[in-house]
Amino acid sequence: MHAKSGIEILPISIPMPDNRVMTIHPTLLWDENSLVLVDTGMPGMLPSIAEQIAKAGFAVDRLSAVVLTHQDIDHIGSLPQIAGAHAVEVYAHAADKPYIEGELPLIKFTPDQRAGLLQSLPPQTAEQFERYYAPGAKIVSHALQDGDTLPFGGGVTVIHTPGHTPGHISLYHTASQTLIAGDAMVMRQGQLQGPNPPVTPDMDEAIRSLAKLAAFDIRKVVCYHGGVFEDGPNRTIAQLAASGPKQD
């Protein structure tokens, strides 16, 4: 029997100002009715995202929704471009919604950083970004809560995993037993680790969030930064939750 729904990981490489290359891992949830992108990369990345969607065998025109795991710029960056080209519904946790919609300042993106980024973008992309993320904009069409279920990809459960941001969520894709971790964990040198301390304002809460994942039978973890971990994730996540913040 052919699968009628599923999940695809879309690895995308971003050249960084210091000549390193950062690879991020947005995810695609697909079924007969919807094609849903989880996280959108930095501003101006729609062409790379569209290329990866096509490579996965889907028409980018089918994009019907975007789920944002949280408010950070490398997750919300290309949403203006995507929403400008495709009719997408936007899902995010209620606690990060006011930041995404400009009611509150993004917690890790200062006005100086914003100005610097906008200057580095092609003028049209910068304008589109500013217009879209204008204060008071109605962006999030569906405010999510812990335990919500969404039909995407055959069904995912929303897990509120605050700490990295107040409204950070992870998604559990039931059919493949895959956890879309967002930035609740990272992969480094083949190792699954807790969230990156310098960009996680509340590490204690972030570690408590990992303990919540024990309720799920996880076969595969997709970290936005670092990619896939399949070597007994439940055991490793339990250890991370028990051991507390790791310094390195």
Q: Pairing between strand 142-144 and 89-93?
A: parallel
- How far apart CA 149 and CA 158 sit, in angstroms, is 6
Choose between 35 and 207: whose C-beta lies nearer to Zn ion. Answer: 207
Site string for Zn ion, 45-84 (x = CB under 5 A): ---------------------------x------------
Stretch that binds Zn ion, among 35-43, 146-154, 181-189, 215-223 (CB under 5 A): 181-189
Report 182-211 residues binding Zn ion (CB under 5 A). 183
The nearest distance, CB 166 to Zn ion, in angstroms, is 12
Is 101 a residue that touches Zn ion (CB under 5 A)? no
Q: Is the dihedral of CA 127, 132, 133, 135 positive or negative?
A: positive
Residue 117 belongs to what H/E stretch? Answer: helix 111-120
Is 96 a residue that touches Zn ion (CB under 5 A)? no
Within 10 A of 63 (CB to CB), how many other CB atoms are there?
Answer: 23
Is 39 a residue that touches Zn ion (CB under 5 A)? no
Stretch that binds Zn ion, among 18-26, 151-159, 175-183, 213-221 (CB under 5 A): 175-183
Put the strands of the sheet holding 227-229 in their side by side order: 149-150, 156-160, 169-173, 178-182, 220-223, 227-229
Choose between 96 and 183: whose C-beta lies nearer to Zn ion. Answer: 183
Q: Which residues pair with 12 in a beta bridge?
A: 24
The nearest distance, CB 164 to Zn ion, in angstroms, is 5
Site for Zn ion, rule CB under 5 A: 72, 183
